[in-house]
Each structure stands twice: as C-alpha cells, then as structure tokens.
Amino acid sequence: MTSTRGEFSSRFGFIMAASGSAVGLGNIWGFPTQAAGNGGAAFLVVYLVLAFTLAYPALMAELIIGRHAHSNPVRALRTISPNPLLARLGAASGIAGLGIASLILSFYAIVAGWMIAFCLASLMDLFGAAELSAWLTSFGVVRNLLFTYLFIGLTAFIITGGVRGGIERWSARLMPVLILTLLILIAYVLTLEGATEGLKIYLLPDFSRSLSPDLILRALGAAFFSLSLGVGTMLVYGSYLSDEENLPLLGGVVTLVDIIIAVIAGFLILPAMYVALHSGVHIFNADGTLISEDTLIFTVLPELFATMRLAGVIVSITFFFLMSIAALTSSISMLEVSVAYATESRGVKRGRAALVIGCAVAAASTLIIFDFSNLFGLVITLTTRYGQPLLGFVFCLYAGWVWHRDGVLQELLKNNPEAEHGLFWRIWPWYVKFVCPVIILAIFAQAALG
C-alpha cells in the first residue's frame, strides 16, 4: 500500500507544501484585519500565545498520526485503536474532516476568485480597458461564479499532478514568490505618508479589547484556521513524509513560518489602511470602529491604489497576485484531503477524484453565491470557529488517549533514537492529553456562557 503512495521528495518540499497550506488568506487578510479591529498588539499577543501553546501541539498530533499511518485521515484514525467503536468514531471524525475541508474550500474559492478578478482588473486598467475593469471589480453573480470555477479548476489541476508533481512542485515554486512579493510591498508601503500611524496601532496593545471570551474564541479559530488544523490537511501532508524526518522539528518550522508571515503581513495591511486614511479614504464606521474585514481589502485598498495612479496600478496587480498565490497553495491542501481518501480508500483515479470532488465543491460554492448574504458568513462561522477547533480537539484525544503511548514513542523513535529523552517527549504527550483538550473546551464553554 505504502509503495504506491506519494511522498515528498525532500524536507524542503514538505516545508514548502505545509507552510504553503498554512500561509493563506488567513494570514495575509484575516489575521491583520482582525488584529486591526481587536486591540492591535493585544490581539497579536493572544494569538501568539494560542499558536504556540495550542496550535503547535495540535499540529504535531496530526503530523504524528499521519506519518505513522501513511494513510488518509479516515483510515489513519480508524486504525489507531483495535476497539471497534473507537475505530468507527475515528473514521467518522476523518469523514467530518473531509466535509469541513471541502466546505472551507467552497467559500475560500469565492474569495480567492475575487483576488484573481481584482488582479486582472488592475491589468485591464493598465491597458485602458476601464469597462472590463469595472465589471471585474463589481460584485455580480456571473463574475463570482466564473472566477470561483476558475480557481477551483486551478486547484484541481495541481492536485491531479500528485504529491510531488503537483503539490510539492507548485508550493516550492509559489512560496518563494509569495514571500518576496510580500516583502517588496511592505518596503514600498512603509515609505508612504501615514504608514507609521498604522504601525503604532499594530504595535501598541489595547488590552481592554483582547481578553473577552468571544475574542479569545476568535483568536483560537484564527490560529487553527491559519495552521490548517482540524480538517485532516496536516495529517495528510504528514502521511507523505518519510520516516527519516524529525517531526517535532518540521512541525516547529511550519508553525514559525506561518506565524511570522501573519505577523509580517500586519506590517503591510495596517500601515496601508492608515496611508489610505491619509489620502482621504474612509476606514472607520460612523461609530468609530474599523470597517469590516471584507470591505477592507476590496474597497479600502483599491481606493488607496487609485490615489497612487500608475504606481497604484502596479502595486494593486502585485498585491492581488500575492493573495491569489497564497490562496492557491492553501486550497490544494484542502482538496487533497478528500482526494487522498477517494484514491486510497475508494480506488478512484487521482485525476477523476480531483474532478468529481472539485465539481462537488463548485456546486456548494454556487449555492453560497446565489444566497450570499445568508450562507457566506454562516459557512465561515460554522467551519472555522466551531468545526476546526472541535475536530482539532478530537484529533488531540486520539493522539493523547486512544493511541497507545508506546505507539507514539515508536513513531518518534523512527528517526531519532534519542527521542525518549528529548524535551518534546517529556512535555507533549501529557500536554496533548490534558492541556489541549481542557483549554479548547474551556474556551468554548466561556464563549457559550459569556
């Protein structure tokens, strides 16, 4: 079985793929705008604490289970325990993961489609095709459908190429471009007037906003979303890792890359907002709060770019290109969860699986587009604020309680004979057993009560 499975060709390939999955719209759009609206550096602190204390251990749970089973989430969770009931519950959790990953993809593809449309619109501006550009940037069913399908098509195309020829190859190409583009944009925006004001908001904490239960729940959802947890993505990527690799180390690198890029993206988005304010663009609501997250990127930034004339067109193309790449390296990991299951457990050919599941996701996106005001926010809240942390909780239970401690240790010993005496083994097993589940539940309980 394992011989016909894909495997990442190198450590670098895995890091690019897994951090490509982690770094996405959540980092460059979600994190900075949430930080902007929720106490700046205070949100940053809560987020960092949650990312290291909860998200990293949960990521490790997925990577270890995946690498051990060298299999898709459904089979991996089913085979952890010989107990039939636990096996069945494990398989059901795996299936729930596939469902949530696909639902996430269904709204993610809509937003990613906008990114491509906005990028093309700026290109059209460059060529003087103003009408086409206006159509590309206005909210319409046809535009939304077209670009969502285009994005899902691109995702399915890459997945058809397999682990090395698709996921690894494209992530290794796109991630360096992403990082470079991000840095160039930051360097440019920081030279503009008003940028330092945004920096201040970002770096000076306002703790009165950050400690409410609802905010902590949001930060938890944001951290799980950002690290692609609770849907089996990291479990699948872990399953394509060779037994020679050091898992705690690789997981640590991926967590760091993810967090650093989210934090760096804040140095782009917040200063850009205040540059916009400086150029006369409205960024506050009547009640003094920041305008909402979606409005920010699709209205504030284009208005800002417009005030910058030709430079603005180029910055705009670059910015939306960056967002499209970030989205693509994430969306492939969402689709791969179900495709891995379909190919391994159902015997479907990879290309066909990508096509059929891609069409199913496109159908879900179509429903959301037709009833946008009701469904879009609902699907996001259900999948990211509840689905991901709760399934992450289940994965921690499987790694901490269901799986025999010895089995976990054997997995870690595979590449590191000293693992038993290392810091990771001293802390992580009880941590994932007690601390992670308790904190996740406590955050939920508090949010429900308060």
Applying CB under 6 A, the residues found at the interface with ligand PHE are: 21-22, 24-27, 101, 104, 225-226, 228, 231, 233, 330, 333-334
Single-letter residue type at 132: L
Task: Considering the complex, state which of residue 94 and residue 429 has its C-beta at the smaller distance from ligand PHE.
Answer: 94
Give least dist CB 165 to ligand PHE, A.
20
Contacts of 114 (CB under 8 A, 6+ apart): 144, 147, 298
Give least dist CB 329 to ligand PHE, A.
9
Count CA atoms within 13 Å of residue 246 on its CB side: 11
Among 267, 273, 262, smallest CA distance to 299 is for 273
Task: Considering the complex, state which of residue 112 and residue 201 has its C-beta at the smaller distance from ligand PHE.
Answer: 112
Task: Considering the complex, state which of residue 182 and residue 283 has its C-beta at the smaller distance from ligand PHE.
Answer: 182
Task: Considering the complex, state which of residue 24 and residue 162 has its C-beta at the smaller distance from ligand PHE.
Answer: 24
Give least dist CB 346 to ligand PHE, A.
21
Q: Is 284 helix (H, G, I), strand (E, B) or coil?
A: strand
Give least dist CB 229 to ligand PHE, A.
7
CB-based contact 230:388 (threshold 8 Å): yes
Tally of CB atoms within 10 A around 40 = 24
Task: Considering the complex, state which of residue 101 and residue 123 has its C-beta at the smaller distance from ligand PHE.
Answer: 101
Give least dist CB 202 to ligand PHE, A.
19
Q: Is 147 exposed, middle or buried, given 0-12, 13-18 or 19+ CB atoms closer than 10 A?
A: buried
Give least dist CB 217 to ligand PHE, A.
17
Q: Is 187 helix (H, G, I), strand (E, B) or coil?
A: helix
Give least dist CB 284 to ligand PHE, A.
26
CB-based contact 270:199 (threshold 8 Å): yes
Helix 372-380 × helix 350-370 angle, to 10°? 130
> What's the CA gap between 282 and 30, in Å, rounded?
20
Residue in this structure with the two tokens 């089913």, named with its chain if needed: 78
Helix 11-22 × helix 247-278 angle, to 10°? 40
